[in-house]
Amino acid sequence: MTQHSPIRTQSQRPPTQDLAEFTAALCFEDIPAPVLDRAKLLILDSLGVGLASNAYPFADRVVAGVAVHGEAGTCRLIGRRERLPVRDAALANGVLMHGLDFDDTHLNSIVHTTATSLPCALSFAEQLGLHGRDLLTAYAAGGEAAIRIGLAIDGGFHHVGFHATGVISHFSSAIVAAKLLGLDAAQTMMAQGIAGSTASGIQVFLEEGAWTKRLHPGWGAVAGITAARLAQHGFVAPSRPLEGKFGLIETHLQAHAGGAKPEAVAAGLGKTWHLADTAIKPYPVCHFIHGCADAAIELHRDLAGEEIEAVEALLPQPTLHIVAEPAAQKERPTTDYEAKFSTQFVVAACLLKGGFGLPDLQPAALADPQVLALSARVRCAIDPDTAFPTYFSGGVKVTTRSGRQLSRHVRVNSGAGDRALQRDEVIRKFMASASLTVSRQKADDICNAALTLETISVDRLMSALSLAD
């Protein structure tokens, strides 16, 4: 194993203790109003993406694979008729929320915030018969914990081939489940210790556009519920699953472990909330590509149909191996998931069409000869002016057949910072996503339930989401 300086001595306070005490003490009234308002919009957005997922083949296949023949369940699924046992429902709902890669991201921590926490909160709160306030409180605790663990890892997972959301969702879901069960701080700490032994999620799916990334946050929800139940009944777990010897930081980051910042977990905890900084996606592709997509869409307006000779896309250096390499494969994606992680394809489509949405990932769009021909002429390079990881900056330079050269650089990607999607924009995105599978009346009912969640039961929300009710 690679040698490096000790992360933390045995005598120092574990970050999991800070998270446990914060979670156990947190009340609904403690959540600042702006954070609560944003949390409801994040939940609405993820529910819309979950509804849209039912228009794609993976949704039926996942539910068929998760459901056990003849086994009764009480928990409902987003936009479906089935009822499943709580862990199976959390898994399926997690796949639906994350399956289109159109769900939110906290940029600095590089984690899909809502996917790490809502699948567990939704299904477990329904099983326990809780109120919307309970769900919101647990979701806020789990989402905040996920972001802080991501900040502590400081992008390290992406250097070693782990999917940050897949790993961190085990911890955040354990916190969500512990809060919903009303566990004390000691039990919540044990739940995180248990989650440390299940936390994983490898990025090998990138090699061939496989579906396994879709599974990651839902599997974290299953692990979180299990961890909290075990802790509730006295299961003994390690207290230092993050920073201990052979803990998550050392085992998962290896040579990069020295770059971790475990102190970020507790910094300002309870006073500073990061949850509201989570960015909602305007495009259904990997968030790392969003700056380039913005730049390409701006250039589309200036090209006026001119033929394009060559394109250079500028990206943050740490993201190139994920969204730009190997170039030959990225230039000709054969599945929607390959396309979501292809800067070449997304930039080409944006230059030609002036936008990018879910229809641009359908089979006919993936086979579009014009887009593929241009995708083969997109070369990716390091962006010298990036603001990564604060923002997912990007730039595009175009040379036309007539010799004209045009360029755009976007420092703050749309959906982030002062370009964050506001309430009306989030609702429009939700309605567009929901319309793929449910009626306008049904979508309105779900939207109203999500935005007034603190006033209703979780059963009322799930009734709105289910097609059987």
- Structure confidence by residue, pLDDT tens digits, 17-43: 999 999 999 999 999 999 999 999 999
Measure the CA–CA gap between 250 and 69, rounded to whole angstroms: 41
Name which residue leads in pLDDT, 304 or 403. Answer: 403
**Mean pLDDT of the region 79-88:** 96
pLDDT at 11 over 90: no
**Mean pLDDT of the region 90-99:** 98
pLDDT at 416 over 60: yes
* pLDDT band, residue 9 (cuts 50/70/90): very low
Q: How many CA atoms lie within 13 A of 162 on its CB side?
A: 25
Residues of the chain with CATH 1.10.4100.10: 15-277
- What's the pLDDT score for residue 347? 98
Question: Contact 149/141 with Cβ under 8 angstroms?
Answer: no
Instruction: Give the residue among 174, 225, 383 at the shortest CA–CA distance from 294.
Output: 383
Whole-structure pTM value: 0.92
pLDDT at 280 over 50: yes
The CATH number that domain 287-417 falls under is: 3.30.1330.120
pLDDT at 214 over 60: yes
**Mean pLDDT of the region 192-217:** 93
- What's the pLDDT score for residue 16? 95
Q: How many CB atoms lie within 10 A of CB 455?
A: 11
Average per-residue pLDDT for the chain: 94
pLDDT at 8 over 60: no
| Domain 15-277, second-level architecture | Orthogonal Bundle (1.10)
* Secondary structure class of 98 (helix, strand, coil): helix
Measure the CA–CA gap between 426 and 428, rounded to whole angstroms: 5
- Structure confidence by residue, pLDDT tens digits, 337-367: 899 999 999 999 999 999 999 999 999 999 9
Measure the CA–CA gap between 274 and 178, rounded to whole angstroms: 21
- What's the pLDDT score for residue 220? 98
- What's the pLDDT score for residue 5? 37
* pLDDT band, residue 70 (cuts 50/70/90): low
Measure the CA–CA gap between 378 and 348, rounded to whole angstroms: 7
* % residues pLDDT > 90 (the chain): 91
- What's the pLDDT score for residue 403? 93
Over the Cα atoms of the chain, what is R_g? 22
* % residues pLDDT > 70 (the chain): 97
- Structure confidence by residue, pLDDT tens digits, 371-408: 999 999 999 999 999 999 999 999 999 999 999 999 99
Q: What are phi and psi of 346, to 5 degrees?
A: -65, -45
- What's the pLDDT score for residue 454? 98
Residues of the chain with CATH 3.30.1330.120: 287-417
C-alpha distance from residue 339 to each of 210, 221, 322, 328, 336 (Å): 11, 27, 12, 13, 5
